[in-house]
Amino acid sequence: MNNNTDFLLALENVSVSFDGFKAVNELNLYIDKGELRVIIGPNGAGKTTVLDLICGRTRVSEGSIKFKNQEITGYKEQQIVRLGIGRKFQTPTIYEDLTVFENLELSLPRGRNVTGALFWSRTDEVAQRVTEVAEMIFLEGDPDQLGGTLSHGQKQWLEIGMLLIQDPELLMLDEPVAGMSVSERAKTAELLNEIIKNRSVIVIEHDMKFVESIAHRVTVLHQGKVLAEGDMQSVQANPRVKEVYLGH
Amino acid sequence: MSGIRTDARTLELIGFALVAALILVVLPLALDIFRLNLVGKYLTYSFVAVGLVLCWGHTGILSLGQGVFFGLGGYCMAAFLKLEASSAANTKIQSTPGIPDFMDWNQITELPFFWVPFKSLSFSLLAVVVVPTIAAFILGAAMFKRRVGGVYFAIITQALAAVLTILIIGQQGYTGGINGITDLRTLLGWDIRPDSAKYILYFVCCFLLLGTMFLARFVIASKLGRILVAIRDQEERVRFSGYDVANFKIFVFCLASAIAALGGAMFTLQVGFMSPSFVGIVPSIEMVIFCAVGGRHSLVGAVIGALAVNWGKTLFSESFPELWLFAMGGLFIGVVLAFPRGLAGLVTDQIVPRLTRFGASRLGSSNSRHTEPSPAPAE
């Protein structure tokens, strides 16, 4: 049977259980090319688990995940990354002992095997690409600054930059504005609106104002299942959604 | 390009030059051949420490079994020398002439098959590096592909050190047992025992060590070196940058082991024997202490650490033999508590900034607002 679809990413009947607890339960989720999808849901709804499943960090118990019609369940993390799926974590994970420049340079999708890395040369082209991205993420000022000395917001941006330089077709962001100040938040929304061009994005976010400012389509998860899906207005109007989540 | 890196590299090159001057000029002039030969022995531990800087300091893989690789390198070298020393003429009083004496004592009448290739020097030299590398590769692949790391890896390497020691001691007909492989005499007819040979071997050891340090420095300065640091900081993130973390860990573990093995081979040549007492758990942990005391992030620190601790051990145990183990334990605790970045950390974090500030303040009086610290301390 041919299950091929036009979707960039298709999750079908995906379940995962941890010691009998079903964190994700027969979930179906389809992401179009160029789509920006926001996933919301109360704590424990399985939002982060869904991203973990897509990027190979957690193995699915049942079901299928296809990226560009290619089954990716069972692939290792780095293989999935190389297919074009990028992932940002909830807490900013950058390399603290490396400089901003080096953080971005490492994320450039080239020289990824041992010999490639050993005999890597920092060409003008590499430096230019890194500088370009550093400008985009507002960190062009001091490329030699150590990652560990950046502010929380700057770390978040740096991680977004590290994804950007990978140029993934699908970008997954887990709470990109968590712990940011109001002005940083506005800048991040601007940044996200810039980088979602030409690619699909899945965003997990709690901040409703932020969601309204960027959302195209919203999926509401509850107890590992899709509770509602649609544009922001229809989701907000949905009585079941109000009950489990927005009403609080 | 990047300021902090250039500063660190300048400092490191100064350190390399100082180490070279110390071991190539100062020590040979200051010490008699007996002491210099001891220094040569300490320097063979510096090889291990250099390897540990790569795999522990930079990548965060703590191996408590580097004695295994040191030993394998040493045994490969010893096997060749032993076969040369066991010529039919030298061993004609044995019941089976032409085989090593310990085999004869153990009623072995024929050279075991795995000893035969060690009749060739080129095979033996190759084996010094290749055998430990293969062992490290098998262990590394088995562990890192399954994502075993941290304490578990350290424990497994320690177990390996115990296993190899027991194997060597138990199979004494094939390995020389607890006495090791002794009574080594010549290398292709060149006697390694007189003082002149000891001088030559000492300098060979020094140049090999310096070469190893440059190799390690090349690795650290490459993008691979930065990936290793990234793995230490955020292993998960490195995977999500599209790298196969296990391959990088295997590479650096194999490299560290090959370097340790070179040290082992130089040990055999300079000390004249190899025994299981340099393979087991205690020597392996001592090697980690050398590296920690010197500074596990610094190549120069590790080399100096191995020299300093061993020098201290010799001096101390000549006067108070029973106290040495306590002193060693105290030293390790002191390092961990007081200066976790070791001697090298003391230099780069305390002494150099002070010198720089001192230099800057003197410059500042004549050159009004030049506050940027100069990369190299004004010496």
Paired with A62 in beta bridges are A15
Give B156: exposed, middle or buried? Use CB within 10 Å, 0-12, 13-18, 19+.
middle
pLDDT in tens, B224-247: 999 999 999 999 999 999 999 999
Q: Do B244 and A113 touch (CB under 8 A)?
A: yes
Paired with A40 in beta bridges are A220
Q: Which residue of B has its CA nearest to A108?
A: B241
Read out DSSP for B161-220? HHHHHHHHHHTHHHH-GGG-B----EETTEESSSHHHHHHHHHHHHHHHHHHHHHHHHHH
Residue A41, SS3?
A: coil
The counts of H helices and E strands in chain A are 10, 10
Q: Do B4 and A120 touch (CB under 8 A)?
A: no
pLDDT at A98 over 70: yes
A204 lies within 8 A of chain B by CB: no
> How much is the pLDDT for A170?
93
- Rounded distance, CA B240 to CA A51, Å? 13
Half-sphere exposure of B360 (CA within 13 A, CB side): 14
pLDDT category at B373 given cuts 50, 70, 90 is very low
pLDDT category at B180 given cuts 50, 70, 90 is very high
Q: Do B224 and A95 touch (CB under 8 A)?
A: no
Q: Which residues of A touch B232 (CB under 8 A)?
A: 97
Helical H runs in A149-241? 152-166, 182-195, 208-214, 232-237, 239-241
pLDDT at B297 over 60: yes
Question: What is the DSSP secondary structure assignment for residue B24, as one 8-state letter?
Answer: I
- Rounded distance, CA A96 to CA A106, Å? 13
A143 lies within 8 A of chain B by CB: yes
> How much is the pLDDT for A4?
66
Q: Which residues of A touch B226 (CB under 8 A)?
A: 95, 98, 102, 105-106
- Rounded distance, CA B179 to CA B102, Å? 9
For range B312-333, the mean pLDDT:
85
Angle between helix A124-136 and A100-107 (nearest 10) = 110
Residue B146: phi and psi, rounded to 5, are: -90, 5
Q: Which residue of A has its CA nearest to B145?
A: A76
For range A128-134, the mean pLDDT:
93
Q: Do A98 and B237 touch (CB under 8 A)?
A: no
A112 lies within 8 A of chain B by CB: yes
A123 lies within 8 A of chain B by CB: no
- Rounded distance, CA A192 to CA A194, Å? 5
Nearest Cα of chain A lies from the Cα of B13 at a distance, in angstroms, of: 20
- Rounded distance, CA B296 to CA B202, Å? 25
Residue A98 tokens, joined: 């490396």
> How much is the pLDDT for A238?
86
pLDDT at B369 over 50: no
For range A10-18, the mean pLDDT:
90
Q: Do B237 and A89 touch (CB under 8 A)?
A: yes
Residue B124 tokens, joined: 């033996």
Q: Which residue of B has its CA nearest to A56?
A: B240
Among A7-11, A203-207, B182-186, where is mean pLDDT lowest? A203-207
CB contact at 8 A, A60 and A16? yes
- Rounded distance, CA B134 to CA B155, Å? 20
Chain B residues touching chain A at CB-CB below 8 Å: 1-5, 219, 222-224, 226-227, 229-230, 232-234, 236-245, 247-248, 251
pLDDT at B218 over 80: yes
pLDDT at B360 over 80: no
> How much is the pLDDT for B333?
87
Q: Do B239 and A81 touch (CB under 8 A)?
A: yes
- Rounded distance, CA B61 to CA B154, Å? 8
pLDDT in tens, B12-41: 999 999 999 999 999 999 999 999 999 999
Residue B322 tokens, joined: 């029973």
A102 lies within 8 A of chain B by CB: yes
| β-pairing verdict for A85-88 and A70-71 | unpaired
Domain A9-246 top-level CATH class: alpha beta
Question: What letter represents residue A91's amino acid?
Answer: T
Interface size, chain A vs chain B, as Cβ–Cβ contacts under 8 Å: 95
Inter-CA distances, A177 with A142, A192, B265, Å:
23, 10, 56
Q: Which residue of B has its CA nearest to A80?
A: B242
Q: Which residues of B touch A158 (CB under 8 A)?
A: none
CB contact at 8 A, B340 and B334? no
ipTM of the shown complex: 0.89
Q: From the list A77, A107, A113, which residue is nearest B239 (CB)?
A: A77
> How much is the pLDDT for B366?
47
Q: Which residues of B touch A118 (CB under 8 A)?
A: 219, 222-224
pLDDT in tens, A218-236: 998 888 888 888 888 888 8
Read out DSSP for B53-65? IIIIIIT----S-
pLDDT in tens, B268-289: 999 999 999 999 999 999 999 9
A166 lies within 8 A of chain B by CB: yes
Q: Do A118 and B219 touch (CB under 8 A)?
A: yes
A142 lies within 8 A of chain B by CB: no
- Rounded distance, CA A192 to CA B35, Å? 66
pLDDT at B179 over 90: yes
Nearest Cα of chain A lies from the Cα of B86 at a distance, in angstroms, of: 43
Q: From the list A99, A109, A111, which residue is nearest B223 (CB)?
A: A111
Helical H runs in chain B? 3-21, 27-30, 33-52, 66-85, 101-105, 121-144, 150-170, 172-175, 195-221, 223-233, 235-239, 245-271, 281-294, 299-319, 324-338, 342-346, 352-366
Chosen for mutation from A95, A105, A149, A166 (greatest number of chain B CBs closer than 10 Å) is: A95
> What percentage of chain B reaches a pLDDT higher than 70?
94
Give B172: exposed, middle or buried? Use CB within 10 Å, 0-12, 13-18, 19+.
middle
Q: Do A98 and B229 touch (CB under 8 A)?
A: yes
As a whole number, the mean pLDDT across chain A is 87
CB count within 10 Å of CB A47 equals: 25
For range B354-371, the mean pLDDT:
63
Q: From the list B5, B227, B240, which residue is nearest A117 (CB)?
A: B227
- Rounded distance, CA A28 to CA A24, Å? 10
CB contact at 8 A, A95 and A102? yes
Q: Which residues of A touch B245 (CB under 8 A)?
A: 78
Question: What letter represents residue A28's amino acid?
Answer: N
Inter-CA distances, B19 with B101, B246, B313, Å:
41, 33, 20
pLDDT at B115 over 70: yes
